[in-house]
Chains A and B, each alone.
Chain A
Amino acid sequence: MLGATSRRCWPADWWIGCEILTMGRIIRLHADDHLDIAELLPWYVTGRLETVELARVEAHLAGCAECRADVLFQRQLGAEIAALPTDIDQGWRSLRRRIEQESRPFGLIGSGLAWIRRSFGRVGRRAPGLGWALASVLVLAMSGAALVSTDRRPAYHALGATQPSPVGNVIVMFRPDTVEKSMRDMMTADRVRLVDGPTAAGAYILQAPADRRETILRKWRARSDILLAQPIDGPAP
């Protein structure tokens, strides 16, 4: 398309020939060793040319002050593309959690939450509140599924039974490397009882005092050794 084409000529000491820029592509009008070499300079600077190319570039540089200056510029430019701060430990913990959740047969909760976080995070950025509302509905639905899946007790009791088994009202997933003593201390401190678990997904069904359940959940969610802490029998009384 002619309208998108422009002819450009540079000074002779930079461009021996001319070129046409067409829709972002360079079309050479003359056999132009200078341009060929100029295109290779970035990888000359980084030492990533093959032997034959390296010899061509070196031969050209010996007689081309402009390309020598360009090499200097690129060397500095390359050195100054800044390093990025990264938190490798946090990243690895996150990915390891994903691997563990996806590798479990009952990994619905973990992978589902990750999906919710990714999907509704996008919705939430566009419509704050909507994303969290949708996510909350799904979390409650999944928690209900977890309850059904893990709390299937027989509908009858032995004649000698004096009281029914305790009913869980919280589902918790600890970090895989959490030691048993730490779990026991947490439960003792908040008078939380173990009802069932670990499930195939590594989750525990616990019974927290009904009047303190929300407080306990908030506190536990803030802990680094808790991956998930959700109510499983509806809102607190």
Chain B
Amino acid sequence: MAPGQGYADDSTNVIASSVADNDVRLLTRIAAGELSAFEALYRAYHPRLTRFLINLLRRPHLVDEALNDTLMVVWKRPQSYNGASKVSTWIFAIAYRKALKAMARRDEPLEDTYADQRISPDVDPEQDLERRQMQAILLSAMNQLSADHRAVLDLTYFHDADYREIAEIMGCPVGTVKTRMYHARRHLKEMLAGRLVDWL
């Protein structure tokens, strides 16, 4: 990527804006008790929330519980969305709080039981071994981070949240988000030790 060019362009922003508008429409219908609208929102958010919660919780049974608890809040209390942020920010903030509660109840050692599944299954067999080794290193490096650091990484790189949205989701100052991101990046960079460029 040439300096001065980020990922997003105008068309991306238009799509994001359209998605945000659609979310608000769905939430309005959910407030009217429309189950089909809730299903549409569920299907839109399930993959993203699952991924976010897996990165935080690392336990499939806790992920399911936190995910359902999160979406049940959306179903039961859609009126608690006050329009001050994007619907996605509101939902992720609920998910984050549900995950914290789930973690507080957890008394098991941390272990990424999804790690094997998360290594991409659809790579070319010729590149398979090297790619898998690299992904394993990346997952291992991420496992060494705290849940909050993983959350910042995931929200930034996968969910395209900006640091203000992340601060809102996690209920912390923007400076804390930047600091967490800085430490997470530095840790990953040390762990990957220059291998990432050759990997792609």
Interface residues in chain A, defined as those with a beta carbon under 8 Å from any beta carbon in chain B:
24-26, 38-40, 42-49, 54, 58, 61-62, 68, 71-86, 88, 91-92, 94-96, 98-99, 118, 121-122, 125
Contact = CB atoms under 8 A, between A and B. Distances in A.
B68 interface: yes
Contacts of B54: 84
B119 A48 contact: no
A53 to B, nearest CB: 10
Nearest to A126: B107
24 contacts: A26-B179, A39-B178, A42-B181, A46-B6, A46-B156, A46-B157, A47-B12, A61-B3, A71-B1, A73-B196, A80-B138, A80-B199, A81-B153, A82-B139, A84-B47, A84-B50, A84-B54, A84-B117, A84-B118, A91-B46, A92-B46, A96-B35, A98-B68, A98-B72
Name, among A24, A47, A62, A79, the residue most crowded by chain B CB atoms within 10 Å (CB to CB): A47
B185 A26 contact: no
Given A45-B7, A47-B9, A92 B199 contact: no
Nearest to A39: B178
Interface centre among A46, A62, A88 (most CB of B within 10 A): A46
A73 B189 CA distance: 8
Contact of B135 (A40, A47, A82, A98): A82
Contacts of B46: 86, 88, 91-92
Contacts, number: 140
B181 to A, nearest CB: 5
Contact of B114 (A47, A76, A84): A84
Contacts of A43: 156, 162-163
B162 A58 contact: no
Contacts of A44: 6
A46 B199 contact: no
A113 to B, nearest CB: 14
B135 A95 contact: no
Contact of B67 (A54, A62, A91): A91
Given A47-B9, A84-B50, A95-B42, A77 B157 contact: yes
Interface of B: 1, 3-4, 6-9, 12, 35, 38-39, 42-43, 46-47, 50-51, 54, 61, 64-65, 67-68, 71-72, 75, 105, 108, 114, 117-121, 134-135, 138-139, 142, 153-154, 156-158, 160-163, 178-179, 181-183, 185, 188-189, 192, 196-197, 199-200
A9 to B, nearest CB: 15
Contacts of A122: 105
Contacts of A38: 182
- Of the candidates A25, A45, A82, the one having the most CB atoms from chain B within 10 angstroms of its own CB is A82
B189 A82 contact: no
B154 to A, nearest CB: 7
Given A39-B178, A43-B162, A61-B4, A78 B64 contact: no
By CB atoms of chain B within 10 A, which of A77, A81, A121 has the most? A81
Given A26-B182, A82-B135, A84-B47, A49 B117 contact: no
A118 B65 CA distance: 8
Nearest to B152: A42
